């Protein structure tokens, strides 16, 4: 019997070749890569939904991103303009670069903000006016210091060289006196109205010459500068007037020079016998009131009345003695009894 070498009863499985393994591996890698790509796309999609507009711009085409950027710049510019038109209620700090920063009537309320926007010049002018006032006060204090620390003749020279200083000084002086309860000039005018209209009065250091303008009596006004045509310009230590000419001589806040004793001696010369000397002076200037009265007595005056009822100034009424036989006055000692008048910063 013929025999074959085949076994037909069982079929053996074929062995996997090397190529088959490689193909299978490649297929798995492709599937894995595809899955990874899908996951990445899904993640990008999720992130995009949560991103801010400015972050999304990075994922968009350049032209589109540039157009978005331009729109944002315009929007930002508009917001900036709107912010300049609004003053926040919550803002407590002042803008030091603003012309309104130090204005007294500045208020952070909405109504004030509207007023500033509608009338910006109002507050700007208010600040300028405040600055001018400070400069004016500073100049007044400087001129005032000069007048109290130099002689009358030096003061005359100063005003002759710079006449505008006289107006600047009296503008400041007026604002100071207006804050007082009573102006001594008004008290003197009241006194003169009770006197005969025939008397002759000298107002020494008259300033703006209010007594001469408003008194019913015949008044000759003297000062370093003529504010009007009724004022005689001179150094009041050397009056162009003969002896024993006046019935009343007035010093109203005008004993200013370092040689004020010479002013008092000149007053004695031009007064008639028994004539009146009226002095009003700032209280704080006196280092010793009694010694000041003694100085006047040595010059030849007798104290008739002293009124210190006003807290800002004191008033004296003296009469000229018929004869003065007292010893010669030492002027340099007497000058120390009246201190310079210093006006504080306000």
Domain boundaries, the chain: 146-337
* Nearest-angstrom CA–CA distance, 165 and 163: 5
Give me the pLDDT at residue 115, please. 54
Average pLDDT value for the chain: 77
The answer to whether residue 138 scores a pLDDT higher than 70 is yes
The answer to whether residue 282 scores a pLDDT higher than 70 is yes
- What average pLDDT does the segment 326-346 reach? 65
Q: Are 148 and 284 in contact (CB under 8 A)?
A: no
146-337 CATH: 3.40.50.150
Between 45-59, 78-92, 157-171, 280-294, the lowest mean confidence (pLDDT) is in: 78-92
pLDDT in tens, 240-278: 999 999 999 999 999 998 999 999 999 999 999 999 999
pLDDT bin (cut points 50, 70, 90) of residue 93 is: very low
pLDDT, greater one: 64 or 109: 64
Give me the pLDDT at residue 156, please. 92
* Nearest-angstrom CA–CA distance, 225 and 232: 8
Q: Are 202 and 222 in contact (CB under 8 A)?
A: yes
The answer to whether residue 209 scores a pLDDT higher than 80 is yes
How far, rounded to the nearest angstrom, does the alpha carbon of residue 121 sit from its chain's CA centroid? 18
How far from 125 is each of 42, 102, 141, CA to CA, in Å? 66, 12, 24
Residue 292 contacts by C-beta under 8 Å, 6 or more apart in sequence? Answer: 286, 337, 338
Give me the pLDDT at residue 306, please. 97
* Nearest-angstrom CA–CA distance, 282 and 339: 10
Tokens representing 115 are 């007023």
pTM exceeding 0.75? no
Of 174, 234, 179, 178, nearest to 202 by C-alpha is 234
Residue 275 contacts by C-beta under 8 Å, 6 or more apart in sequence? Answer: 244, 246, 247, 248, 249, 319, 320
- What average pLDDT does the segment 40-66 reach? 56
How far from 336 is each of 52, 190, 196, 260, 308, CA to CA, in Å? 83, 32, 37, 10, 21
Residue 338: DSSP 8-state: B
Q: Which stretch, 1-15, 42-56, 158-172, 215-229, has highest mean pLDDT?
A: 215-229
């Amino acid at each position: 019997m013929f025999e074959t070498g085949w076994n037909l009863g069982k079929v053996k499985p074929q062995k996997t070749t090397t190529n088959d393994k490689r193909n299978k591996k490649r297929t798995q890698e492709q599937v894995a890569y595809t899955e990874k790509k899908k996951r990445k796309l899904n993640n990008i999609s999720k992130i995009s939904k949560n991103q801010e507009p400015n972050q999304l711009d990075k994922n968009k085409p350049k032209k589109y991103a540039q157009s978005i950027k331009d729109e944002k710049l315009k929007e930002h510019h508009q917001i900036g303009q709107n912010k300049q038109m609004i003053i926040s209620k919550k803002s407590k700090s002042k803008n030091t670069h603003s012309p309104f920063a130090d204005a007294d009537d500045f208020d952070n309320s909405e109504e004030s903000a509207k007023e500033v926007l509608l009338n910006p010049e109002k507050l700007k002018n208010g600040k300028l006016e405040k600055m001018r006032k400070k400069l004016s006060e500073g100049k007044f204090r400087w001129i005032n210091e000069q007048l109290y620390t130099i002689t009358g003749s030096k003061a005359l020279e100063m005003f002759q060289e710079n006449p505008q200083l006289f107006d600047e000084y009296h503008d400041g002086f007026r604002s100071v006196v207006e804050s007082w309860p009573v102006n001594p000039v008004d008290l003197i005018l009241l006194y003169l109205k009770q006197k005969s209209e025939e008397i002759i009065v000298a107002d020494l250091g008259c300033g703006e010459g209010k007594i001469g303008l408003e008194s019913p009596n015949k008044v000759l006004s003297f000062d370093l500068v003529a504010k009007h045509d009724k004022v005689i310009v001179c150094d009041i230590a050397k009056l162009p007037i003969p002896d024993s000419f006046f019935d009343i001589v007035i010093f109203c806040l005008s004993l200013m020079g370092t040689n004020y004793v010479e002013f008092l001696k000149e007053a004695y010369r031009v007064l008639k016998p028994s004539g009146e000397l009226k002095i009003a002076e700032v209280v704080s200037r006196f280092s010793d009131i009694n010694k000041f009265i003694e100085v006047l007595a040595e010059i030849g005056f007798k104290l008739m009345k002293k009124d210190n009822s006003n807290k800002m100034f004191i008033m004296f009424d003296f009469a000229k003695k018929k004869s003065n036989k007292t010893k010669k006055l030492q002027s340099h000692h007497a000058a120390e009894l009246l201190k310079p008048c210093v006006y504080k910063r306000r």
